[in-house]
A and B are shown apart, each in its own frame.
Chain A
């Protein structure tokens, strides 16, 4: 028995027509986010089955016209015209019954292209609520294609729609007479007159734009110059508090699972290269990134709910003027705020920004915002810099956040006047009606974003983690005499029954081994080689190595320094701070001189030092050149500002 041929259909329509809800209802859990080769604009791909025959469904981004010079419009036009890899055999035009005249004008441009087409008429329940009852058969006569009332929320008309689309795609449906669509573009008088005629023949009546008191009141409040920003700050405060609170449990659990997995690998496999590679390279590398998954999934779930309510569009409108001063659109505020938790969800949420230049500028400046991974470094360095002066340490801590924000906004301003120069897209946006959010849609968004994030973790980040592990693990260095002696004493303690003392000695021996290995590794040799470059920041060989090893993730700095000075890595522990304060360089001078602390603090506020962010930038910005530019700019700025801070503090 031959397998039925896979037909492909594309869903197209204006934004906010219920197109993606329809797609999710048709394809359910089998959908995934994808990009056409060379494009950074997302579309969704999914499959459904109609009478045993598979149907591939492409959910294209919502657009207002196929002729606009916008990435989403270009993508849709190229897809419908078969200029991309996947050629749809039929198009499902999703038209919003509550806004039919404008939707019909868009439909005319799609119908003129002559592809087999079916119209899905959505939001008919809302239209009926407003006293508007439309006749699908009249619309079908005028448009020359089948018109089916459908709703992704209630499931009404889904089977009929999918069957009609499948029949169109496989040429089983009888051809209908071509619609006499006007050649004029949407918005012109000719096109508007044609659409109004079709609308009226279907039973529609032109209604004067009337005021909905609740919408008016909410809009006034949410776009108020002061009240709007206060409402946004409150909403975001609640959002991020919820994320921190809710995500901390699964994050701790994931951290424990990966730690346990690494332990199991060491226990099960014979000690050696393979065990070290899997446990310390693969498991730890993936674990360090995957631990952020709950934060990302939760952020996108809650953001999708918020966006679905119609609130986010109002917030973007209200913040636009402030952000424009730095060359960014109002929509950039949210990604920049998210980046204070972690740059990864921040960069991923730049997808809310419509203009490419605006989006790129936001991606490139987002990692300047002080993320949670910087906190241990700030705590350590502020504590060392202002020992016994908590209020000064607190001020320095706040200053770090301010410096990051200033550097980020300054970078955006500079980018928009140099390599990303050009008019940003003026703030012109549709404000969708306020409505109850869909949990299903939010779930699909969170799942899509999580899958994208995991795909990154499982590919590039894994590969680079393994390389970094190799650099720090090789060549193998023999344990020091001191470590061997400690182990002998530990063995003697076990024999004497003092197991606590033995465990303590073994832990010190292990720390010494790690220090010896770190000093003899390829990474350390690179550190020795690179140290002169960090001399202007007052860094010696040990601190240079700590900076280099923290290239993967900046929080590693604290662990590396802790290993080197043989202390714990809990910066809240006074003992740890004392050990670090007492640590010395090879020449006997203090390791953390005040000027060095100031230079390091400035360096860590401004430096990239986060591999997952770099990989994500390359993906979201559409190429490694943007990621390398980001790395180069942030590293240069960090180095220059760090050197200036060192000079000023040493003076």
Chain B
């Protein structure tokens, strides 16, 4: 009785990631509370505020339509909600319920599980992007231009990489699952008011702008707004903001690895 265990292959492991994304998707959409909190809220804010501000222009930005600023701003908020907020809150729950520990005891490699969690959040993020931009084009006069597509893709890729990894990594600072929404909102909500999400920060005092400039929320919102600003005609790249997102992606990966390296069982 000496059974040899066949080795898994990379191809099979990638298949496992894709399967796991499907299960993560099912679990996400069945949990109504989380779906509303992370997916429905941003869309609701878009419809409410864009309807309130209809027809307004922004004088500090060459009188562009307010919606050309607000739709990409809300898209940034939606990306953060479906990646960072979603992953931080759910990872804390998975940890507290012992599901991470259970997963650790299975042959599924840890990288594959983490990749599937990030992949699933990315699927939700893409859906959010389609809904927000679709609504923007259909209802709020947003113009999707082929020429700025590279800038849009760059902002989406870096934004997702940055906010998924930080989302998992920040779990280390969430003491228990109930504190999840508190910690996450404390990290996000105040910054959104100085980060071009709800209104342009052009007239804010310099020190607030400086603080906002450190964090990736303003960088994501501004790089998306750059893409949809009708005054810009290039490929839609805003180098400085993308650089901030890239730096935070490195920080996010480091935070995530730090969280994941800790064994799930060793208490005390």
Are A and B associated in one complex?
A: no
| Residue ranges of B at the interface with A (Cβ–Cβ < 8 Å) | none
